[in-house]
Amino acid sequence: MTPPTHDELARVVRDHAGRLAAALIPLVGDFTDAEDLVADAVEAALTHWPADGIPERPDAWLYTVARRRGLDRLRREHRHRRRLALVAWPAEPEPDARLRLIFTCCHPALPRAAQIALTLRVVCGLTTTQIARAFLVPESTVGQRITRAKRKIRDAGIPYRIPGPDELGSRLTEVLAVIYLLFNEGYLPTGDQPAAAHDLTDDAEFLAALLHQLMPAEPEPAGLLALIRLHRARAAARFTGDHEIVRLQQQNRALWDHTAIADAGRLIARAAALRRPGPFQLQAAIVACHAEAASWEDTDWAQIVVLYDILLHLAPSPVTRLHRAVALRYLSGPAAALAETDALAADLEHYHLLHATRAELLRDLGDHDRARLAGARALGLATNPAERRLLRRRLAWS
């Protein structure tokens, strides 16, 4: 037997942990009790599988462990009603029970950090240790967040169900925001990540795909999934061998996964056919314009600016306006783009990319002194090490 790789373990656990939680909750009758059993079973799997190999039926293996732990606990607690329920565990949960799980973990009455930690643990089967490592926070912090969130679910009466049609829209927005935040954390970590850190972009894609599969009539989960896949399809070209960021202009487009890009394009088209545009569909469409262009020079800037206009209409944001200004530079020239960034100075004064963008525009306009000042300002505000190195290189030629 070849020992399973880290990725294989993560994938198998993720495929089954959420299903197990979804199966246990109606039987145990309580979200938090079920969650404890799943966490125990996952810990046991991560202890045994690296040495023994992944069992042929990982789901049955996890069920057996969770059931044994559940019965142990019952013996200590003498709760007869629950004992009866545990004896008759079925092998398979109802097909879409994981959707309820996601909506409960991302309930708006929970703080954002807890929504993320809970979703990773309950739906993706990550351990507290893995979550702590991925976010560079102490394990005790993650443990406390999860404990508090579970207590709040129980005490505040947060229901375990899919929201009704009147609130589905806003609740879905919340879930999508959690998944996208998770993706961004993995895509451009805010600190120096240890090499063996869990790949959060993998979890984010898994969650978006699951949401899309369980809610096929909703276009925004499809948009988010396409967006994540388009970013990941270009991951191989984003960094040099020694971890330096390669900007889009300079990326070797032959390294992009063009099959994945075409698939994402079809996903966007199918979502668009539902005729309910949303922020994630539009962001995906913008990224698709870049991904489908044969070269930087062939990019359809007019189309991109139009998409940004619609996006800004649906979801006004100064950061989106900054992105639009960058696209506008290639459509209408650096002076028009610089004027746009002037209007954003108050809102984005402390955002390093505003100053980095202004540095480039000023340089293009021949104003090298102000370009250097803006570049220095950007460098002073950036925190990500790879981004700081990139800004230093850009400063050198401004």
Partner 1 sequence: MKYVLMFADTEQFAAGLAAMDEPERERAYARVQQWFGQNADKITHHVHLLPADAATTVRLDGAEPLITDGPYVEGKEIVSGFAEIDVADLDEALRLAKSWPACPIVEIRPVAG
Residues of the shown chain interacting with partner 1 in the complex, contacts defined by CB under 8 A: 107, 109, 155-159, 161, 163, 166-167
Distance CA 60, CA 68 (A): 12
CB nearer to partner 1: pick between 171 and 388: 171
CB nearer to partner 1: pick between 109 and 339: 109
- Measuring CA to CA, how many Å separate 101 from each of 65, 95, 216? 21, 12, 17
CB nearer to partner 1: pick between 149 and 261: 149
Cβ 25 to partner 1, closest distance in Å? 14
Residue type present at position 348: L
CB nearer to partner 1: pick between 149 and 374: 149
Nearest to 394 by CA among 218, 262, 250: 250
Query: Do 322 and 354 meet the contact criterion of CB atoms below 8 Å apart?
Result: yes
Cβ 110 to partner 1, closest distance in Å? 11
Distance CA 299, CA 289 (A): 7
Distance CA 319, CA 272 (A): 24
Interacting residues of 377 by C-beta distance below 8 A, sequence separation 6+: 352, 355
Query: Do 225 and 205 meet the contact criterion of CB atoms below 8 Å apart?
Result: yes
CB nearer to partner 1: pick between 158 and 362: 158
Cβ 165 to partner 1, closest distance in Å? 13
Q: What is the DSSP string of 83-103?
A: HHHHHT--SS--TTHHHHHHH
CB nearer to partner 1: pick between 171 and 372: 171
Query: Do 91 and 60 meet the contact criterion of CB atoms below 8 Å apart?
Result: yes
Cβ 156 to partner 1, closest distance in Å? 5
Distance CA 214, CA 209 (A): 9
CB nearer to partner 1: pick between 31 and 180: 31
Cβ 21 to partner 1, closest distance in Å? 19
